[in-house]
Amino acid sequence: MDKLTQYIDDELVRSIDAKNAFVEKNKNALVKAAELFVTATKNGGKVIYFGNGGSAADSQHLTAEHVNKLLVNRKALPAIALTTDSSVITSIANDISFEDIFSRQIEALGNSKDVAVGISTSGNSANVIKALKAARGLGIKTIVLTGGNGGKILSEKLADIVLNVERAATSPRIQETHIFAGHIIIELMDKILMTN
């Protein structure tokens, strides 16, 4: 039992350390991301989220915070997760390729007033990379949540804002920081919208 409780303590320290290091490095980028959300909202655009696995769940979670609310009562804000329509996803994966499941939706639904938010713990998810390129081709501002060394997304500078969780060695600790970052960006967006 002592080894198991010690594991909990160790992982808590790792999670806190990852968040502390992330915030210290990314404070300004978090504010810029919130400002992109505000600009999109004011200009009639939307926020488009996408990712795989746990990152797909985070995409849906964060979309709900726009459309419903997070901490403050305000009007519903436009956002969509590209991870929810099983017919669209499976038809693209079957007829074209899994690599295209997000980029095809960006082509169909995106416009230059939007902000695209890709989530990839490794920074190497081929379908996230392809969607970011499609978004750029349409003049859509891009934000990425990633981890470790940031993978191809960071090395090839595929996003306008890269929020990279460098100090976490495992996907669970990276994803915990991603949802923290997503919540903070939306909270900042709400604060800006309430004062303007």
- The CATH number that applies at residue 164 is 3.40.50.10490
- The C-alpha angle 128, 63, 98, rounded to 5 degrees, equals 25
The residue written with tokens 């099983």 in the block is 86
Condensed to tens digits (0 to 9), the pLDDT of residues 51-96 reads 999 999 999 999 999 999 989 899 999 999 999 999 999 999 999 9
State the pTM of this model. 0.95
Sheet holding 47-51, edge to edge: 79-81, 47-51, 115-119, 141-147, 161-165
At residue 15, does pLDDT exceed 80?
A: yes
At residue 196, does pLDDT exceed 80?
A: no
The total of structural domains in the chain comes to: 1
Condensed to tens digits (0 to 9), the pLDDT of residues 95-104 reads 999 999 999 9
Q: What is the domain extent for residue 70? A: 2-195
pLDDT band at 161 (very low <50, low <70, confident <90, very high): very high
Give the count of beta carbons closer than 10 Å to the beta carbon of residue 41: 21
Q: How far is 112 from 125, CA to CA, in rounded Å?
A: 23
The residue written with tokens 């519903």 in the block is 76
Please, what's the b/e burial string for 72-92 (b: 16 or more CB within 10 A of its CB; e: otherwise)?
Answer: eeeeebbbbbbbeeeeebeeb
